[in-house]
Amino acid sequence: MKVLLDIKDNKALHLLEVLKGLPYVKTKQLTDAKAQLMSEIREAVEEMKQIRAGKKHARDAEDFLNEL
């Protein structure tokens, strides 16, 4: 199982030390850019799920391209 945690900087070092002490836990820090990218992808996937469920309407591709 993979878990992504969002921890305040002043508390993160202590928690990372605790997690590193557990033999069954692997830790890996993400750069801010990578964390932001993951967050944006997660939001996009959630939006697609809402569109497929009919809770949100998709934009016309032509309108989207004209906006760019």
Q: Domain for residue 43, yes or no?
A: yes
Q: Domain for residue 22, yes or no?
A: no
Q: Domain for residue 14, yes or no?
A: no
**CA separation for the pair 58, 52 (Å, rounded):** 9
Q: Domain for residue 4, yes or no?
A: no
32 pLDDT exceeds 90? no
Q: Which residue has the higher pLDDT, 47 or 62?
A: 47
Domain that residue 45 falls in: 29-67
Max intra-chain CA distance, the chain:
54
Q: In this structure, what DSSP letter does residue 57 have? A: P
% of the chain exceeding 70 in pLDDT: 100
User: Domains in the chain: how many in total?
Assistant: 1
Q: Which residue has the higher pLDDT, 41 or 7?
A: 41
23 pLDDT exceeds 90? yes
The position carrying tokens 């799920």 is 49
Whole-prediction pTM value? 0.58
Q: Domain for residue 24, yes or no?
A: no
Q: Domain for residue 42, yes or no?
A: yes
In this prediction, residue 5 carries a pLDDT of: 84
35 pLDDT exceeds 90? no
CA-based end-to-end distance of the chain: 39
